[in-house]
Amino acid sequence: MQPHFTAPLAPLNSPAGASPSLRTLFPDIEPACIIAVITHELRAADLYKLDPRLKDAEPTYSLSPTGAFEMNMSKHKAYKTLNSILLPLNTYFSILTVHTHGAPAAFFHRHTAHLVTLASEYEWLAVLEYHTLFFNRRRGDMLEGLYTTWGAPDLALLALSVYPHRKQIPVGSASKSQGKRTTSPSGDATCRNYNAGKCDSPCAWKRAHVCSSPGCGKDHPLTQHK
């Protein structure tokens, strides 16, 4: 079966201003920010500008080495949790969906779902780095009218930024539903990849390479347990 092909949207000329309909639908977003979204000028680091919880927050000020006061917006750009990204990202996608008459909505949803899945399995700072690089690369695609790439994970970028940073399993935690051993006799977390025959010694995750079969804990993977 031939793979489904989705033709790119025609590149959009930079509008002189945000349309009245967009300003009506997104009254809490500054018109300049709406324009930055639909012209693909808004960078990942500036998503906080689409978050009503932050856009009116008072910035802090610090004294520069030259003696001048500098505005500090770092707290807005910290993005310490997944939720700090999801709300402004959904607003970003909503603006683009309205502007493009709904064509790329499915690809936007795929990316959001992918971020949620990544954040559940990998360290947040690694996921945030991936999101930032991925987001900024898509801006170039959209300038050419190509929105489908939002729905396709960047495997090379995942391997570089995300996959080495899987969340650690708390020592002593166990999967009660499966009744599997998750710690070695010494108390170290047991390597699940090793027990599946997918991890070489020494463990890249610094986990114990012992059998996870209940009551075993010997120096062989679960695939060789007898």
pLDDT in tens, 129-186: 999 999 999 999 999 999 999 999 999 999 999 999 999 876 555 444 444 444 444 4
Cβ-contact 208, 188 below 8 angstroms = yes
Q: Give the C-alpha separation, 99 to 12, whole Å.
A: 10
Q: Give the C-alpha separation, 158 to 154, whole Å.
A: 6
HSE value, Cβ hemisphere, 13 Å, CA-based, for 92 = 28
Question: Which pair of structure tokens corresponds to residue 151?
Answer: 């729905």
Q: Give the C-alpha separation, 216 to 226, whole Å.
A: 10
Q: Give the C-alpha separation, 29 to 55, whole Å.
A: 9
Report which listed range, 53-62, 168-177, 191-200, is most confident.
191-200
Cβ-contact 204, 159 below 8 angstroms = no
Residue extents of the structural domains in the chain: 20-165, 168-226
Question: Which pair of structure tokens corresponds to residue 50?
Answer: 């689409």
Q: Give the C-alpha separation, 33 to 95, whole Å.
A: 10
**What are all long-range contacts of 22-29, with beta carbons under 8 Å and residues at least 24 apart?**
22/95, 22/98, 22/99, 25/94, 25/98, 26/91, 26/94, 26/95, 28/52, 28/55, 29/55, 29/91, 29/95
Report which listed range, 2-6, 20-24, 107-111, is most confident.
107-111
Q: Annotate 74-94 with DSSP letters as a single string.
A: TTTS---SSHHHHHHHHHHHH
Q: What percent of the chain has pLDDT over 70?
A: 70
